[in-house]
Amino acid sequence: MVAIGAAVKEPGSTRKNKTGSWRTFKPILDKETCIDCENCVMFCPEGCIDKNYDIDYDYCKGCGICAEECPVKAIKMERE
């Protein structure tokens, strides 16, 4: 049974889809080096880095934008 008009009543339900499995490289953030500039939070296409700079690996696709945009190189991309 498909919902009427194939509407989806559960907001944000793509969370069921763990895109972390798409990843080849994994960002590792060194909180000691981090200067709290929010660049990585802002630029993450998945929105999966929170204000405490914890990365949600369930969804991180490993694009590497965060590492690229970190002004102090606090994020390293490591092979899964």
Residues binding other proteins: what is the number (CB under 8 A)?
44
Q: How far apart are CA 19 and CA 56, in angstroms?
A: 10
Q: Toward other proteins, which CB reaches closer, 22 or 31?
A: 22
Other Cβ atoms closer than 10 A to 39:
18
21 near other proteins, judged by CB under 8 A: no
Select from 34, 53, 56, 76 the one that contacts other proteins (CB under 8 A): 56
CB of 42 to other proteins, least distance (A): 5
Q: How far apart are CA 24 and CA 45, in angstroms?
A: 16
Bridge partner list, 79: 25
1 near other proteins, judged by CB under 8 A: yes
31-50 residues near other proteins, rule: CB under 8 A:
38, 41-48, 50
26 near other proteins, judged by CB under 8 A: no
Q: Are 25 and 64 in contact (CB under 8 A)?
A: yes
DSSP code of 75? E
